[in-house]
């Protein structure tokens, strides 16, 4: 007998049939003798519909009232799921975020969990109830409802699993697990049995939208064993855990991110503090920067090239223009780029990873515009038109022998 | 400066336009220097839609989970109304039932308010906020959400007005007030300026569906001055308060109730306790009885005739059949009947009221099947086909001279 936390996203409970399907998964787990805590998001498009409704009334509504509004979405889904579980004959109780003891700070719409008082959950498990908890929501010190922001239900689930010392936290999605590449595009993509937290973090950041990043960070911090799996097929998913004896794989996956703009600033006077001023300004405007490259240009001037997401490109260009008294022709923005990356803790001890990746690209005649590396990741910036071809080639180079 | 509680029903906030209209009424009242507490129901058909959704998943869902589900309806409407008030530039905060300190017993789906801890409402008013409270809902001693049942938002409003010693509790509806008869049917119907609690209670019971009965009882108990008025027209409504110096009117209104079934039991052996057994059985089956008449029949046997609502008729017939070992031919049920009543505290001191009513019916050749009276009410049971004609004739008899 184990304590299992199961999290189901909005699409998993979008309609009556899917709610019943989730109830079947939950009651199956319960009937095998496990204690089960279920964390659930709002049904399907509920949250988007509510946001739209609010915008019609007041596009500048306060975040406190938005949180009051949106948290109703999960309230409805926990009640409906509890009813479905009742129908399948298991004892169940639904709990709102605050009833489950979820305390957050007061940053409405993107609150952070501060503490979980698990006494109510424990009491309900002691009564042999399945406990269905509303994800995405908590209560601040003023007794007001907060939401954790998009993807917050993952965080709720991991936080509860951590606080309850659960044996496993299962994140059910509409994919079967974490793949070595996007299986819709690369038919040879392999589902990973296991992956480390750090690898998962790099993959999540790089556009493999399976798990919310904050939840993986939290899982790593509290050593919560995660499993990503599908609510529609009954096959094991991918387990995310601390590295121990994992199957030997050089890399875990190849990802593509097309939401990238490259900004190149050339001919910057070579005075101290230039990079500091630039990136401080960007940080102040809350613009996240991806890859940064600095090189020495002509006549001892500097060139700085960096990437931002596409919707930040204009603001970043403006910030750069405000700082440097240089000609406009020296600031260039290119949005026709894509970032292709390989991720894997195994590459640390394999110096050949980068060269194998670059060789694969070279064979396809793909030009590399920028390169950035970390201990477990190699990213290259290439022409957006080459992105899919690049992923295919790189994936083949690393995984062909496994097939 | 006064403290005003304003309650708006679901149809008053059914769409964006109506929400904005309610926000205008509320902010008008606030800008005149009043403290304002607003109690609001779920939007339009939200509650019915949620009930339908639940029925699809589990028609036998527990009442606890139903209350969890339904209370989300008011949560959405308070947030949206607060956003609309923000848009009109007034400070506002929305509160759920439990945040507003509403404690109830644990009778899910029909909970009764036990206590209101007004500290949060007071604190928000001290901060000069308009306070928007979710009607219909509260919290029981297990920290679980309860609902007060249909019409519960009226009760929430009156309870808050009582606990806060509000100067007035305004119940906004889609009618302009309480009329002497249904204005859609009787063009001569007059809007009452004032009415006593008891008169309002009789009218509510008799089918004038303006105010929820429990809320009127509570208003009477705590001496809360009510006003029934329209959210669509800006005219004074009807004030419901303890009798003082009211305008002189013999009766306050004429009502019709067609949801009546008459059950006649004849030839009952004349033994003691017969009536007790019969009505104890009906009470046990939670069947409400309206008019009761008992008379001596042939050969010293008894006849008992009583009325119930139509959907209870079958169960009542069965209960009667189980008690008496009498022939079936002696139990008769007639659903083609209607109850027409006149209500007014003034009739107590005017013995001619009954005869004036009966005369009006006689002139229209309408046969009276049963008569029941209280201090402030006279009801007659007549053929359903005559009901509208009867209301018109009786209304004319009492109100013609006022036109």
Q: Which residue of B has its CA nearest to A16?
A: B57
Q: What is the DSSP letter of B321?
A: H
* CA distance, residue B61 to nearest chain A CA (Å): 5
Res A213: pLDDT = 80
Res A135: pLDDT = 96
Q: Is the ipTM of this complex over 0.85?
A: no
Query: Can you list the residues of chain A whose pLDDT is less than 50?
Result: 403
What Rg do the C-alpha atoms of chain B give, in angstroms? 23
| Cβ neighbours, 10 Å, residue B335 | 13
Q: Which residue of A has its CA nearest to B123?
A: A142
Res B55: pLDDT = 97
Q: Which residues of chain B have a CB within 8 Å of the CB of A99? A: 143-144
Res A278: pLDDT = 81
Q: Mark yes or no for CB contact A75/B75 under 8 Å.
A: yes
Q: Which residues of chain A have a CB within 8 Å of the CB of B78? A: 68
* Cβ-nearest to A72 among B64, B65, B76: B76
Q: Mark yes or no for CB contact B53/A80 under 8 Å.
A: yes
Q: Mark yes or no for CB contact B83/A19 under 8 Å.
A: no
Query: Can you list the residues of chain B whose pLDDT is less than 70?
Result: 150, 205-209, 243-249, 297-298, 325-329, 348-349, 401-403
Res A369: pLDDT = 86
Q: What is the DSSP letter of A98?
A: T
Res A402: pLDDT = 58
| Cβ neighbours, 10 Å, residue A403 | 7
Strand residues in A140-245 grouped as ranges (E): 145-147, 168-173, 194-195, 226-230, 238-240
Res B147: pLDDT = 96
Res A57: pLDDT = 97
The SS3 call for residue A44 is coil
Res A292: pLDDT = 82
Q: Mark yes or no for CB contact B16/A56 under 8 Å.
A: yes
Asked if A235 contacts A229 with a C-beta cutoff of 8 angstroms, the reply is yes
**pTM higher than 0.90, yes or no?**
no
Instruction: Give φ, ψ of A56 to 5 degrees.
Output: -65, -35
Task: State the best of B76, B98, B99, B106 to mutate against chain A, taking most chain A CBs within 10 Å.
Answer: B76
CB contacts < 8 A, A to B, total: 111
Candidates A176, A184, A187; CA nearest to A238 is: A176
Ramachandran quadrant class, B299 (left: phi over 0; alpha: psi -120 to 50; beta: rest): left
Q: What is the DSSP letter of B385?
A: G
């Amino acid at each position: 007998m184990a304590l299992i936390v199961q999290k189901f996203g909005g699409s998993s409970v979008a309609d009556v049939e899917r709610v019943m399907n989730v109830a079947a998964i939950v009651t199956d787990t319960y009937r095998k003798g496990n204690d089960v805590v279920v964390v659930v998001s709002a049904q399907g498009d509920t949250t988007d519909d509510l946001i739209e409704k609010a915008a019609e009334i007041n596009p500048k509504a306060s975040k406190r009232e938005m949180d009051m509004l949106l948290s109703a979405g999960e309230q409805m889904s926990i009640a409906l799921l509890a009813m479905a579980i009742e129908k399948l004959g298991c004892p169940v109780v639904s709990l709102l975020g605050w009833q489950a003891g979820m305390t957050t700070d007061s940053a409405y719409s993107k609150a952070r969990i501060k503490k979980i008082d698990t006494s109510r959950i424990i009491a309900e498990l002691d009564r042999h109830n399945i406990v269905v908890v509303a994800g995405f929501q908590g209560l601040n010190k003023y007794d007001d409802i907060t939401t954790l922001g998009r993807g917050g239900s993952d965080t709720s689930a991991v936080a509860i699993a951590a606080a309850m010392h659960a044996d496993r936290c299962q994140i059910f999605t509409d994919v079967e697990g974490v793949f070595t590449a996007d299986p819709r595009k690369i038919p040879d993509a392999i589902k990973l049995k296991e992956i480390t937290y750090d690898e998962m973090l790099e993959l999540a950041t790089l556009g493999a939208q399976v798990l919310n990043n904050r939840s993986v960070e939290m899982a790593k911090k509290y050593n919560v064993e995660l499993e990503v799996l599908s609510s529609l097929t009954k096959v094991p998913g991918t387990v995310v855990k601390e590295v121990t004896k994992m199957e030997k794989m050089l890399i875990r996956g190849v990802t593509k991110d097309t939401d990238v703009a490259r900004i190149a600033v050339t001919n910057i006077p070579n005075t101290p503090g230039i990079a500091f001023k630039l990136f401080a300004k960007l940080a102040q405007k809350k613009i996240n920067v991806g890859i940064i490259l600095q090189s020495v240009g002509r006549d001892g001037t500097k060139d700085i090239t960096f990437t931002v997401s596409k919707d930040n490109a204009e603001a970043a260009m403006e910030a750069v223009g405000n700082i440097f008294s240089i000609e406009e022709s020296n600031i260039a923005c290119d949005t026709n780029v894509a970032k292709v990356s390989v991720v894997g803790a195994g590459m640390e001890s394999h110096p050949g990873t980068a060269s194998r990746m670059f060789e694969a690209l070279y064979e396809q005649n793909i030009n590399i515009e920028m390169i950035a590396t970390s201990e477990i990741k190699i990213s290259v910036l290439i022409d957006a038109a080459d992105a899919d071809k690049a992923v295919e080639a790189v994936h083949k180079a690393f995984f062909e022998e496994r097939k």
